[in-house]
Amino acid sequence: MNILVVENNRTKGKEIIQVLRKMDLNLENLYQVHTGSKGLEILKTYLIDLMLIDIDISIIGGLEVLGKMRTVSDYSEVPTIVISSRRDKKLFNAVTSSGLDYLHKPFSWRMLRQKILKFKNGDVAYVL
Protein backbone atom coordinates (compact mmCIF):
# COMPACT_ATOMS: atom_id res chain seq x y z
CA MET A 1 0.00 0.00 0.00
CA ASN A 2 1.37 3.43 -0.95
CA ILE A 3 0.26 6.31 1.24
CA LEU A 4 0.80 10.03 0.73
CA VAL A 5 0.62 12.32 3.75
CA VAL A 6 0.15 16.04 3.02
CA GLU A 7 0.59 17.88 6.31
CA ASN A 8 2.17 21.30 6.60
CA ASN A 9 2.99 20.98 10.27
CA ARG A 10 6.30 19.14 10.25
CA THR A 11 6.03 17.80 13.78
CA LYS A 12 2.53 16.47 13.16
CA GLY A 13 3.65 15.07 9.80
CA LYS A 14 6.57 13.24 11.39
CA GLU A 15 4.30 11.89 14.08
CA ILE A 16 1.78 10.56 11.55
CA ILE A 17 4.55 8.87 9.57
CA GLN A 18 5.98 7.27 12.71
CA VAL A 19 2.61 5.93 13.73
CA LEU A 20 1.65 4.68 10.26
CA ARG A 21 4.86 2.65 10.18
CA LYS A 22 3.81 0.94 13.40
CA MET A 23 0.27 0.18 12.25
CA ASP A 24 0.89 -3.10 10.48
CA LEU A 25 -0.67 -1.86 7.26
CA ASN A 26 1.62 -3.71 4.87
CA LEU A 27 3.01 -0.42 3.63
CA GLU A 28 5.18 -0.34 0.55
CA ASN A 29 5.88 3.37 0.26
CA LEU A 30 5.09 6.26 2.52
CA TYR A 31 5.43 9.76 1.11
CA GLN A 32 5.34 12.88 3.26
CA VAL A 33 5.11 16.41 1.91
CA HIS A 34 4.35 19.76 3.53
CA THR A 35 2.62 21.65 0.75
CA GLY A 36 -0.28 21.05 -1.59
CA SER A 37 1.86 21.66 -4.66
CA LYS A 38 4.35 18.98 -3.57
CA GLY A 39 1.41 16.69 -2.95
CA LEU A 40 0.24 17.17 -6.52
CA GLU A 41 3.74 16.37 -7.77
CA ILE A 42 3.77 13.09 -5.86
CA LEU A 43 0.34 12.21 -7.23
CA LYS A 44 1.60 12.86 -10.75
CA THR A 45 4.73 10.78 -10.26
CA TYR A 46 3.75 7.76 -8.16
CA LEU A 47 0.88 5.38 -7.79
CA ILE A 48 -0.86 6.34 -4.57
CA ASP A 49 -3.40 4.08 -2.89
CA LEU A 50 -4.46 6.52 -0.20
CA MET A 51 -3.88 10.18 0.54
CA LEU A 52 -4.19 11.83 3.95
CA ILE A 53 -4.42 15.58 3.54
CA ASP A 54 -4.70 18.37 6.06
CA ILE A 55 -6.92 20.90 4.34
CA ASP A 56 -5.56 23.74 6.44
CA ILE A 57 -2.18 23.55 4.69
CA SER A 58 -0.67 26.72 3.29
CA ILE A 59 0.63 27.83 -0.13
CA ILE A 60 -1.81 25.68 -2.09
CA GLY A 61 -4.66 24.95 0.31
CA GLY A 62 -5.93 21.46 0.84
CA LEU A 63 -9.27 22.20 -0.78
CA GLU A 64 -7.48 23.58 -3.81
CA VAL A 65 -5.47 20.37 -4.12
CA LEU A 66 -8.67 18.36 -4.02
CA GLY A 67 -10.14 20.62 -6.70
CA LYS A 68 -7.11 20.12 -8.97
CA MET A 69 -7.28 16.37 -8.41
CA ARG A 70 -10.77 16.30 -9.86
CA THR A 71 -9.52 17.68 -13.13
CA VAL A 72 -6.83 15.06 -13.71
CA SER A 73 -8.25 11.66 -14.50
CA ASP A 74 -5.07 9.78 -13.55
CA TYR A 75 -5.49 10.57 -9.90
CA SER A 76 -9.02 11.82 -9.58
CA GLU A 77 -10.03 8.59 -7.87
CA VAL A 78 -7.30 8.38 -5.27
CA PRO A 79 -9.02 7.50 -1.99
CA THR A 80 -8.61 10.44 0.35
CA ILE A 81 -8.99 11.14 4.03
CA VAL A 82 -9.37 14.84 4.67
CA ILE A 83 -8.00 16.00 8.03
CA SER A 84 -8.96 19.26 9.69
CA SER A 85 -9.35 20.83 13.09
CA ARG A 86 -12.33 22.84 11.85
CA ARG A 87 -15.53 21.90 13.59
CA ASP A 88 -17.64 23.00 10.70
CA LYS A 89 -20.72 21.10 9.62
CA LYS A 90 -20.81 22.72 6.17
CA LEU A 91 -17.25 21.69 5.50
CA PHE A 92 -17.89 18.18 6.75
CA ASN A 93 -20.93 17.86 4.49
CA ALA A 94 -19.04 19.24 1.48
CA VAL A 95 -16.18 16.78 1.97
CA THR A 96 -18.25 13.68 2.62
CA SER A 97 -20.77 14.41 -0.13
CA SER A 98 -17.80 14.44 -2.53
CA GLY A 99 -17.11 10.86 -1.56
CA LEU A 100 -14.13 11.64 0.65
CA ASP A 101 -13.64 10.65 4.24
CA TYR A 102 -13.19 13.21 6.99
CA LEU A 103 -11.12 12.98 10.14
CA HIS A 104 -11.53 15.68 12.70
CA LYS A 105 -8.57 16.77 14.85
CA PRO A 106 -7.81 15.79 17.50
CA PHE A 107 -8.15 12.19 16.36
CA SER A 108 -7.03 8.98 17.98
CA TRP A 109 -4.63 6.66 16.17
CA ARG A 110 -7.19 3.90 16.52
CA MET A 111 -9.66 5.99 14.53
CA LEU A 112 -7.11 6.72 11.81
CA ARG A 113 -6.21 3.05 11.54
CA GLN A 114 -9.87 2.07 11.24
CA LYS A 115 -10.38 4.52 8.42
CA ILE A 116 -7.27 3.35 6.58
CA LEU A 117 -8.30 -0.29 6.93
CA LYS A 118 -11.70 0.54 5.43
CA PHE A 119 -9.93 1.70 2.28
CA LYS A 120 -7.41 -1.11 2.33
CA ASN A 121 -10.10 -3.74 2.61
CA GLY A 122 -12.10 -2.10 -0.15
CA ASP A 123 -15.11 -1.42 2.05
CA VAL A 124 -15.51 2.05 0.60
CA ALA A 125 -15.91 2.98 -3.03
CA TYR A 126 -14.68 6.47 -3.85
CA VAL A 127 -15.45 8.58 -6.85
CA LEU A 128 -14.51 12.23 -6.90
Partner 1 sequence: MSYRREIYEAAEKTFEITCFLFPLEEEEVSSESQERLLLSNMQSVVEFSGAIDGMVIITPSKSLLSAMAGNMLAIDEPNEAEKEEALCEVANIISGNIAPIFSKEGDICYISPPQLLESREKLTKKIRDSLKETVRIFLDEGIADIEVHYQAQEKP
Binding site for partner 1 (CB under 8 A): 8-12, 14-15, 18, 56, 58, 84-90, 105-108
Residue 81 pairs with which residues in a beta bridge?
Answer: 52, 101
> Which lies closer to partner 1 via its Cβ, residue 29 or residue 58?
58
**Residue 11 CB, nearest approach to partner 1 (Å):** 4
> Which lies closer to partner 1 via its Cβ, residue 49 or residue 56?
56
**Residue 107 CB, nearest approach to partner 1 (Å):** 7
Spatial CB neighbours of 114, under 8 Å, sequence gap ≥ 6? none
> Which lies closer to partner 1 via its Cβ, residue 56 or residue 77?
56
> Which lies closer to partner 1 via its Cβ, residue 25 or residue 94?
94
How far apart are the C-alpha atoms of 111 and 95, rounded to whole Å?
18
**Residue 105 CB, nearest approach to partner 1 (Å):** 5
**Residue 33 CB, nearest approach to partner 1 (Å):** 15
